[in-house]
Amino acid sequence: MAMSNVGRPTAPAANGRNVSGNSGGFASLTGGRGLLQDEPLIFEEGGWDKTGVDLPEASADAADLGDLVRTAPIGLPGLSEPEAVRHYVRLSQKNHAIDLALYPLGSCTMKHNPRLNEKMARLPGFADLHPLQPVSTTQGALALMDRLAHWLKVLTGMPAVALTPKAGAHGELCGLLTIKAAHEAKGQGHRRTVLVPTSAHGTNPATAAFVGYDVAEIAQTDDGRVDLADLEAKLSGDIAAIMVTNPNTCGLFERDILEISRLTHAAGAYFYCDGANFNAIVGRVKPGDLGVDAMHINLHKTFSTPHGGGGPGAGPVVLSEALAPFAPVPWIVSGPQGLRLIEEPAGEAAQAFGRMCAFQGQMGMFVRALAYMLSHGADGLRQVAEDAVLNANYIKARLSTAMTPAFPQGPCMHEALFDDAWLEGTGVTTLDLAKALIDEGFHPMTMYFPLVVHGAMLIEPTETEPKRELDRFCDAMLALAEAAKSRDAERFKGAPHLAPMRRLDETLAARKPKLTWRPGDTTVAPAPLAAE
Ligand SMILES: *Cc1c(COP(=O)(O)O)cnc(C)c1O
């Protein structure tokens, strides 16, 4: 590090930014970046002997606890209120958010969440409910869930829906458990295998394995679709289900979807559709018309509602006539006393396979999703899909001038997929490019997924980005592409130069995650900036 540079940044360009995109060899003395302070863990910050509130000494009544009485200090960090507030606000400022900028993650569908949704979800009549309240006091909430279920059934053309799953992956689990129960009821419980295309999201094979099925792969055609001949060859009396995403994770509509479902049903298997990409076809295509038996809907993707950082999400599963009787409890029915919940897998729910969670699901997400549906209306939801596809194709067209689209033939659906053929010989990789994008103020696209495309870059703008923002993103991408092609590999290898953290060892972090802090542990200090 060139110490002489400290406090004396190299001359900025006319727009106030470093011309070369690097930090000019400047590092702050504290690890801070502009007004963003370096932030240790709360455990490193708080003293054990301090507390932010005055509490009377507890007269520990050990009588009920026996030998479970704590003998050592509890080890909570002691911070004053302003210290605690600052800690969390500083952390929140390190978090990228859709409210800050375009969030082009393909497959994740990061779209703007209208504030109206938040206002509705915070209505005390919804937000302050307790799941164990008597149903006579929760009629409004049940009516909302019933209305949401109605919309989901109409939009998908499916007769039943299980609302409780709490994420897409949880919905997959619900769908496969339903399928398993249906097979067992038909004396087909011996079917052991689930077919999954090579481009599938990792949750598909993981879910099938979790339910106890073997997983076999269906090959993909050169134009990124399910290989029908391979599917046909692999369908047999051993196949319980196929799991197909449509549009698929290459951002392409499965043209042969009707034939896929016909072949599947002819083999006595069920068609599970991964509905994470429903936002590309909502209002235009009803999965029920395609022969789908079960499909989860990520409310937190298709119907806005924020997600990330582990939640919250909601993954209701729509079901065909054949699978509906096996849906998990609880479900809502109406009777003389109004709406009520069927809670036990008995009587009219005798075939239900069980339940997915303790109570009724993610109420806050139900409110947000219904608010989104009602504010858009049926025509508005159709336009959501059309604009999402239009935006993705705009990006595909602009970036194809410098980058190589993975499937150049024809338009894409809601996400544009590129491979890394165009980077060949530059010394720059997909990862380098993504890191360099951070220096330009953009969150990277999804990288290296789907696995079937070499060095994949999957970009999903969603319908909520205006053309101006799409152009800013494309301009940044094209400028980086030019830098990569003009053999400025150094700039890429060191990126991100301007983020609080430089390049991290992501493999180590994934393989050996450090999930527990112990006294004496220290967090990684930001590496000093190299003098370039
Ligand atoms: C997001 C996603 C999932 C999993 O959904 P979660 O809500 O994150 O559990 C499954 N399949 C595809 C294609 C996805 O994009």
Query: How far, in Å, are 41, 106, 182, 261, 485 from residue 187 at the CA level?
Result: 55, 40, 9, 22, 61
Q: Is 142 touching ligand 1 by the criterion CB < 6 Å?
A: no
Instruction: Give the DSSP letter string of 230-266.
Output: HHHHH-STTEEEEEEESS-TTS---TTHHHHHHHHHH
- The closest-lying atom of ligand 1 relative to the alpha carbon of residue 298 is 7
Nearest one of 7, 69, 17, 68 to 497, comparing CA atoms: 17
Amino acid found at 4 = S
Q: Is 313 touching ligand 1 by the criterion CB < 6 Å?
A: yes
Q: Whose CA is nearest to atom 4 of ligand 1?
A: 168
Q: Is 460 touching ligand 1 by the criterion CB < 6 Å?
A: no
Q: To test ligand 1's pocket by mutation, which of 111, 173, 174, 201 has the most ligand atoms within 8 angstroms of CB?
A: 201
Token pair 């789908």 in the structure block, residue: 292
Q: Whose CA is nearest to atom 8 of ligand 1?
A: 168
> Could you list the pLDDT tens digit for every one of the 532 residues in the chain?
233 333 323 333 333 333 333 445 677 888 788 888 888 888 888 777 777 788 787 766 666 778 887 788 777 888 988 999 999 999 988 888 898 999 999 999 999 999 999 999 999 999 999 999 999 999 999 999 999 999 999 999 999 999 999 999 999 999 999 999 999 999 999 999 999 999 999 999 999 999 999 999 999 999 999 999 999 999 999 999 999 999 999 999 999 999 999 999 999 999 999 999 999 999 999 999 999 999 999 999 999 988 876 568 999 999 999 999 999 999 999 999 999 999 999 998 999 999 999 999 999 999 999 999 999 999 999 999 999 999 999 999 999 999 999 999 999 999 999 999 999 999 999 999 999 999 999 999 999 999 999 999 999 999 999 999 999 999 999 999 999 999 888 889 999 998 878 898 888 989 998 888 777 776 554 444 443 3
Q: Are 287 and 95 in contact (CB under 8 A)?
A: no
Bridge partners (DSSP) of residue 355 are: 329
Nearest one of 422, 444, 420 to 434, comparing CA atoms: 444
Distance from residue 168's CA to the centre of ligand 1 (Å)? 5
* Residues recorded for the chain: 532
pLDDT per position as a tens digit, 249-305: 999 999 999 999 999 999 999 999 999 999 999 999 999 999 999 999 999 999 998
Q: Is 205 touching ligand 1 by the criterion CB < 6 Å?
A: no
What domains can be seen in the chain, in order of their start residue? 17-51+77-94 (no CATH), 118-372 (3.40.640.10), 385-511 (3.90.1150.10)
Distance from residue 490's CA to the centre of ligand 1 (Å)? 35
Distance from residue 42's CA to the centre of ligand 1 (Å)? 32
